[in-house]
């Protein structure tokens, strides 16, 4: 037994001495720190091939980010005449401005139909979508999303005069129900209001015109948008018809495989949420609705 121990400790000492002479005395404390990973003095490290510029690099180089939005969606994004000039305003636009500011680039806005946004992003015609877009499973397959920056519930808007007749989705059987083309509300009409006839149009203001002129009987829209219209149109009301609420969050979308853009967007969102600026932008946008 004793002999074995002596041999072992001699062997151990020998090993320690060997490592010490090989790596310099300093390294003995951390024998696990393998030197092999570092290039030796005689043999300079091979030059790594220059990394392909990321989309974020390209945006910074161009000095601008191209935003795709669908400015038919107060208070998220909508047209307003400011000092005699048509402008796109809304809390999504304020978020976009903050994002561009954080990236140190200018913001260029392209206004298009909501259902044209995803194809435009995938084709590279725009760099980013901010349009109250909900990151649903289907879309997640096609594009990458930031975290959610704002959450809303789904509502049914009706004419005020019909409000007390329409209490459940069953009451909409045989009625015409409108929703925006390519939106999650289009799916809600199809899935939750069975027995109704869907009227699907590309632009939100046209849907409200249809409701006012009795061409449709109800619309499925997100609550902030419903509230914005109802506050200006006394002949409309938000009904108490309950809907299943699984999709009401808004996130920023980028073309697939741009993790550095998603990360940068999340940073901007974190900052705005922490400083309660999204809330402020929503309130300011609501004040601008006309």
Closer residue to ligand ARG, CB minimum distance, 223 or 284: 223
- Closest contact distance (angstroms) between CB of 67 and ligand ARG is 12
Closer residue to ligand ARG, CB minimum distance, 129 or 172: 129
C-alpha to C-alpha distance for 131 and 121, rounded to whole angstroms: 12
Q: What are phi and psi of 58, to 5 degrees?
A: -60, -40
Residue 79 near residue 211, CB atoms below 8 Å:
no
Q: Which residue has 């901007």 as its token pair? A: 268
The residue among 276, 270, 264, 272 whose CA lies nearest residue 65 is 264
- Closest contact distance (angstroms) between CB of 192 and ligand ARG is 15
- Closest contact distance (angstroms) between CB of 216 and ligand ARG is 17
Closer residue to ligand ARG, CB minimum distance, 77 or 171: 77
- Closest contact distance (angstroms) between CB of 289 and ligand ARG is 14
C-alpha dihedral over 112, 118, 120, 123, to 10 degrees? 180
Containing 244, the helix (H) or strand (E) segment is: none
User: Which residues contact ligand ARG by CB under 6 A?
Assistant: 70, 72-73, 76-77, 114, 131-134, 180, 183-184, 204, 222
C-alpha to C-alpha distance for 156 and 153, rounded to whole angstroms: 10
- Closest contact distance (angstroms) between CB of 184 and ligand ARG is 4
- Closest contact distance (angstroms) between CB of 285 and ligand ARG is 13
Closer residue to ligand ARG, CB minimum distance, 112 or 261: 112
The residue among 186, 94, 184 whose CA lies nearest residue 134 is 184
Q: Which residue has 């459940």 as its token pair? A: 168
First to last CA, the chain: 94
- Closest contact distance (angstroms) between CB of 174 and ligand ARG is 26
Compute the half-sphere exposure of residue 111: CA atoms within 13 Å on the CB side of its CA: 14
Closer residue to ligand ARG, CB minimum distance, 144 or 222: 222
Q: In sequence order, what DSSP letters do the residues of 47-108 get, joined into one string?
A: PPPPPPPPHHHHHHHHTEEEEEE--EETTTEEEEEETTEEEEESHHHHHHHHHHHHHT-EEE
Closer residue to ligand ARG, CB minimum distance, 95 or 133: 133
Residue 111's contacts (CB-CB under 8 Å, 6 or more residues apart) are: 69, 70, 71, 88
Closer residue to ligand ARG, CB minimum distance, 76 or 171: 76
Closer residue to ligand ARG, CB minimum distance, 103 or 129: 129
- Closest contact distance (angstroms) between CB of 69 and ligand ARG is 6
Q: What are phi and psi of 112, to 5 degrees?
A: -145, 175
């Amino acid at each position: 037994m004793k002999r074995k121990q002596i041999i072992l400790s001699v062997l151990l000492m020998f090993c320690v001495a060997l490592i010490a002479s090989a790596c310099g005395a300093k390294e003995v404390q951390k024998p696990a720190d393998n030197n092999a990973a570092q290039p030796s003095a005689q043999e300079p490290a091979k030059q790594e091939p220059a990394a392909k510029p990321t989309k974020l690099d390209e945006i910074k180089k161009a000095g601008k980010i191209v935003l795709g939005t669908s400015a038919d969606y107060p208070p998220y994004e909508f047209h307003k005449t400011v000092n005699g000039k048509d402008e796109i305003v809304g809390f999504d636009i304020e978020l976009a401005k903050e994002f561009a500011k954080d990236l140190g680039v200018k913001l260029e806005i392209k206004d298009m139909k909501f259902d044209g946004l995803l194809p435009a992003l995938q084709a590279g015609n725009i760099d980013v979508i901010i349009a109250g877009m909900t990151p649903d499973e289907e879309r997640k397959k096609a594009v990458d999303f930031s975290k959610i920056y704002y959450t809303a519930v789904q509502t049914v808007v009706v004419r005020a005069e019909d409000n007390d007749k329409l209490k459940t989705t069953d009451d909409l059987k045989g009625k015409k129900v409108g929703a925006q083309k390519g939106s999650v509300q289009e799916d809600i009409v199809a899935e939750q209001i069975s027995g109704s006839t869907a009227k699907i149009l590309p632009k939100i203001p046209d849907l409200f015109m249809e409701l006012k002129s009795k061409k449709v009987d109800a619309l499925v829209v997100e609550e902030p948008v419903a509230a914005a219209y109802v506050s200006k149109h006394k002949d409309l009301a938000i009904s108490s018809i309950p809907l299943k609420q699984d999709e009401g969050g808004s996130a920023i979308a980028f073309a697939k495989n741009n993790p550095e853009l998603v990360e940068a967007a999340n940073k901007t969102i974190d900052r705005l949420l922490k400083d309660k600026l999204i809330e402020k932008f929503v309130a300011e946008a609501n004040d601008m609705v006309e």
